[in-house]
Structure 1
Amino acid sequence: MKVSAIQMNMIFEEPEQNYLQAEQLVEEASKGDCDVIVLPETWNTGFFPKDNLEKYCDQNGQKTKALFSRLAKKYHKHIIAGSVSDFRDGKCFNSSYIFDREGNVIANYDKTHLFSYMDEDKYYEKGGHICTFNLDNVKCGIVICYDLRFLELVRTLALDGIEVLFIVAQWPRVRLEHWMTLCKARAIENQIYVVAVNSCGVAGETQYGGHSLMIDPWGNLICEGGDEACTIEGILNIETIQEIRNTIHVFKDRRTELYQLG
């Protein structure tokens, strides 16, 4: 599986310009031979407008679904459309939509852990389900930004059989070391590939960190972005996962009778 990760510098509170930019970046990435294209978190609004948030949101994912359904079908690529600020059922969600090569929406995920340090929980509604999906017979899962800090969520996805974890984020530069460490840890402890797509630039008063990553199940870095907008590409050799799991028996050797997770 070849993945293109778009490290985007979106324009804060300018969704129209951001949709145009996202379309151009996906079209550019589609010229290559990648199988999957991924964008970062809340690229339509930036993270995140507190004044009139609803005004900047997509409405029930309509614009997002129309755009990426068309692009996925046109270029015959899977697209993980990062996440968008999305207004539906009278509430704002931080939502991800996943498209197959035929342009069908095959999964959606609402961010479940909201970043209270920046009052995200006061403006967005918490999601209520985990998300797995298949891309070319590879089982995948997705989390959004702050979700990365909750190892129970990622382990739940791993126990459900995912081989690739996609992380879409607007992770700030000031905590960039946490980003890189946690991404690597999630790959190693769950023996999965991690594709972590961050944004860059400034939204509001926050400088975002870039350094999108792809990491193999041994914790080796496949590729990494820098500080500026870019697209990185990496190949995920899925067949190596079972070889690794046959070497270090993380799942077989678990002692579930001793764990208390509540």
Structure 2
Amino acid sequence: MRLALAQLEVEAAAVDSNVDRAVDAIERAAEEGADCVALPEIFDVGYFAFDAYARNAEQLGGETHRRISAAAAEHDVSVLAGTVVEDLAASADAGESVPAEEGYANTAVLFDSDGERRLVYRKRHLFGYDSAEAELLVPGEGLQTAELGGHTVGVTTCYDLRFPEQYRQLVDSGVTLVLVPSAWPYPRVEHWKLLPRARAVENLIYVGAVNGSATFEDATLVGRSTVYDPWGTTLASAADDPTIVYADCDPERVKAVREEFPALEDRR
């Protein structure tokens, strides 16, 4: 599977422009042969635009998801629609299963190449250090996986990287590739370089960590979207400017590494 990480320029509270850039990136990645395109965390509103969350929140299947789903189908490519701020009450009214009947969530959706929803993940670990996320949003419950390009795919979001037990839960579900939409800021760049790689190495999986490229009033994102293979080798990595990086993620590589170095069998 050829994976594309779309490190988008993200403007605070500029939803239409941000989604336009996402749709354009999907088209460009498909033209380069991508099978799956991953977008960053809260790419529509901008993670640090906290004052804009409530007025721009959408239900599952709202306008942002409709546009991303349509782009996936038009260009015959699967898309992880980063995350958006989900209006849980609106989703509940539409018959969706939600963790709370009101409030907002940080929600990722994976669409297949027909534009059909394959996975929904609501961020479980909400960040409260120099961030209003933990005050504004409701944490998700549970994990989902999807079959895609020969991989069993899971999703975690940004701060989830600091909780390795969540990755072990995914591995126990058969996951071979984890996509990590993020909005990771300076000055924690060294953590960003370490944590996705550590999750790949300890679980013998592919990890595709996709960050945004943005400067907000109080934060600048580090970019550096990266794909790691199950041995921790860097397959593709960006600098901090908007770009798309590509990597071939072979599910047979996971099997080969686990046979050569069967560390997961020694868990106690």
Q: Residue 106 of structure 1: SS of its match in structure 2?
A: strand
Question: Residue 121 of structure 2 corresponds to which residue in structure 1?
Answer: 109
Counterpart of 1:49 in structure 2 is 49
Deviations 1:182-207 (A, max 9, x none): 11110000000111101122123101
Once residues 102 and 60 of structure 1 are traced to their aligned partners in structure 2, the CA distance between those partners, rounded to angstroms, is: 17
Matched position secondary structure for 2:71: helix
Equivalence for 2:251:
238
Give the drift of 1:52: 4.9
SS in 1 for 2:188: helix
Is 1:189 aligned with 2:212?
no
Identify the residue that residue 123 of structure 1 maps to in structure 2: 136
Q: Secondary structure at the match of 1:196?
A: strand
Q: Distance in 2 between matches of 1:207 and 1:49?
A: 12
| Letter in structure 2 aligned against 1:241 | V
SS at match of 1:209: coil
* Equivalent-residue separation in structure 1 for 2:50 and 2:20 (angstroms): 23
Mapped contact 1:85–1:95 kept (Cα < 8 A): yes
| Paired AA for residue 7 in structure 1 | Q
3-state SS of the aligned residue for 2:115?
coil
For the Cα contact (< 8 Å) 1:61–1:86, is it kept in 2? Answer: no
Unaligned runs of 5+ in 1: 256-262
Answer yes or no: is 1:225 the counterpart of 2:225.
no
The alignment partner of 2:72 has SS state of helix
In 2, Cα distance between equivalents of 1:95 and 1:207? 22
- Where do 4+ consecutive residues of structure 1 move more than 6 Å? none
The share of aligned pairs that are identical, in percent, is 30
Shift of 1:131: 2.1
1:21 is the counterpart of 2:27: no
Is 2:226 the counterpart of 1:213?
Answer: yes
Indicate how the Cα distance of structure 1 residues 247 and 195 shifts in structure 2: closer, same or farther if over 3 A, else same: same
Q: Distance in 1 between matches of 2:50 and 2:180?
A: 24
Alpha-carbon distance in 1 for matches of 2:4, 2:229: 15
Counterpart contact for 2:48–2:219, Cα < 8 Å: no
In terms of fraction of residues, the more strand-rich structure is 1
Other-structure match for 1:132: 145
User: Number of matched residues?
Assistant: 255
Within 1, Cα distance between the matches of 2:28 and 2:260?
Answer: 40
Give the AA of the match of 1:138.
H
For the aligned residue pairs, the C-alpha RMSD in angstroms reads 1.2
CA distance in structure 2 between the aligned counterparts of 1:161 and 1:52, rounded to whole angstroms: 37
**Given the two structures, how large is their TM-score scaled by the length of structure 2?**
0.92
Q: TM-score, normalised by structure 1?
A: 0.94
- Match in the other structure for 1:62: 62
